[in-house]
Amino acid sequence: MSIATVNPANGETVKTYQAMGEEEIERRLQLAEATFRTYRTTGFDERAALMRRAADLLDEDQRDIARVITTEMGKPVKQARAEAAKCAKAMRWYADHAARLLADEEPADADVRDSGASRALVRYRPVGPVLAVMPWNFPLWQVIRFAAPALMAGNVGLLKHASNVPQTALYLEDLFHRAGFTEGTFQTLLVGSGAVDDILRDERVKAATLTGSEPAGRAVAATAGEMIKKTVLELGGSDPFIVMPSADLDRAAEVAVNARCQNAGQSCIAAKRFIVHTEVYDAFAERFTEGMRALVMGDPLDEDTEIGPLSSERGRADLEELVDDAVRGGASVLCGGERPDRPGWYYPPTVLAGIGREMRVHREEAFGPVATLYRAGDLDEAVLIANDTLFGLSSNVWTREEAEVDRFVRDLEAGGVYVNGMTASHPAFPFGGVKRSGYGRELSGHGIREFCNITTVWHGA
């Protein structure tokens, strides 16, 4: 199993790592179990001080860790710095709010009396070591949005990161250790995907969270189900971006470009299917295609670069197969669609029109800067197209008509509906999907309670 930093801008191997053996994995599981016994008894003030210190260190490290991220997975360095800043913000948010979010809850007096109790309450207690299986596309953020709430709740974390971002994975362990968290509170496991099943089956691991592909989610869910362990899964997405006649077309097209191509389009919550009312279809398509064509593709360490390489050669090949299949099926290419003649795993911003239901790109997630355009005759057809997917992560709606907003919020099958704006995660709001996009929620109070033992405490009269 290769655990290595391979620069996607040129294909060169920068650094390789030896996967941890069974003995080291066992040592770390023992340490996690032992650490949890003590860490679970710490107070929110102590945890918050440590979390704020970790956020401060991340701010200090921002430029250096951003360059590591860019070298490992190709994100433009400006976006990598923004990712680090977002992580520090989330860490401080949970440091500030965890005590309130997990405070004891007192049922209504009438319900307490009706139960025959003199007093009753609900308490949130940590569950123990939680395994996090995380992806490469947001290598800091995906981890922090799990780690900040989990650690603030009193759990300890075990990180199995994607094998192409080992330096980022090791940095995260070091970050929490430098902040003052004891050694076993957050540990990185440098292992391949084949080791996940045995680790999850270990009785010392109490729960798991995974962000990644549908096959990976199925595998983790199957094992966790067999072992009766709680999981949170955030899987793929094929989010609709619906544009109605009343929309601000200039603004919608501008946001659509960023919504499709941030992180070179390698995002589960990126808008991927652009469903436009026939009255404004041509005008939107022209503006959107112009914006996609104008993006600057280049060295991700260059401050002016807007589109870097895809993370892997395999990822680019998968994207090309989807585009080629669509073209063979009759789709038209409004821009892009051809691999550039340069080193590295680059693919240009691409817009496809005339999409049919039989095309793979209609059914499968395009994980790269490829957008599909659909024409809808009315709101009902827009909803039908939007829901004609196995995924249901988020959605975007552009309209000034409140009645239309109400319909979309009621009828779209997704974990989020963003009106006149781009889907983005924020620590205060729950994040997650439905259908094959997974289950459970991250972030907000909902996220911090996912890995808590919700305990009823009842006192007799």
Tally of residues, the chain: 461
What is the rounded CA–CA span in Å between residue 423 and residue 437? 15
Question: Residue 20's pLDDT is what?
Answer: 97
Phi first, then psi: give them for residue 178, nearest 5 degrees.
-65, -30
pLDDT of residue 94: 98
- Which residues of the chain are modeled with pLDDT < 70? 1
Residue tagged 């990126």 (tokens)? 270
Q: Looking at residue 187, what is its pLDDT?
A: 98
Catalytic residues: 234, 268
Q: Are strands 418-419 and 230-234 parallel, antiparallel or unpaired?
A: unpaired
Contact of 146 with 3, CB cutoff 8 Å: no
Using CA atoms, how far apart are residues 206 and 221, in angstroms rounded to an integer? 13
The identity of residue 100, as a single letter, is R
**Under DSSP, is residue 392 helix (H, G, I), strand (E, B) or coil?**
strand
Q: Are 371 and 352 in contact (CB under 8 A)?
A: yes
Q: Which of 19, 7, 17, 129 is closest to 74 using CA atoms?
A: 7
Q: Are 309 and 339 in contact (CB under 8 A)?
A: no
> Rg (Cα) of the chain, in Å, rounded?
23
Spatial separation of the C-alpha atoms in residues 379 and 382, rounded to whole Å: 5
Rounded to the nearest 10 degrees, the angle between the axes of helix 44-73 and helix 141-152 is: 170
Q: How far is CA 336 from the centre of its chain?
A: 27
State the pLDDT at residue 136. 98
Task: Specify the 3-state DSSP secondary structure of 160.
Answer: strand
CA atoms of 195 and 182, how far apart (whole Å): 25
Contact of 284 with 243, CB cutoff 8 Å: yes
